[in-house]
Structure 1
Amino acid sequence: MDSVYAPPGHLTTRQVAQLLDIAPDSVRQLVRRGQLTRSGGSPRHPWFAARDVAALHATRRTHAAA
Structure 2
Amino acid sequence: MEYLLPPCGTVTTSMAALQAHVEPATIRDWVRRGILTRCGGTPKRPIYRVDDVDTAAKAAKPTRPGQRSAKAA
What TM-score, normalized to structure 2? 0.72
Q: Which runs of 5 or more residues in structure 2 are unaligned? A: 61-73
Bigger Rg, which one: 2
Pairwise CA RMSD of aligned residues? 1.8
Give, in whole Å, the separation in 2 of the partners of 1:36 and 1:13.
Answer: 11
Give, in whole Å, the separation in 1 of the partners of 2:34 and 2:27.
Answer: 11
Give, in whole Å, the separation in 2 of the partners of 1:36 and 1:4.
Answer: 22
Moved more, 3-12 or 23-32: 3-12
Aligned length: 61
Give, in whole Å, the separation in 2 of the partners of 1:39 and 1:31.
Answer: 11
Contact 1:17 1:26 in 2 (8 A): yes
What TM-score, normalized to structure 1? 0.78
- Could you tell me which residue of structure 2 aligns to residue 11 of structure 1? 11
- Could you tell me which residue of structure 1 aligns to residue 46 of structure 2? 46
Pick the structure with more helix per residue. Answer: 1
Pick the structure with more strand per residue. Answer: 1
Q: Give the fraction of aligned pairs with identical amino acids, expressed as a percent.
A: 35
Q: CA deviation at 1:51?
A: 1.3
Q: Which runs of 5 or more residues in structure 1 are unaligned? A: 61-66
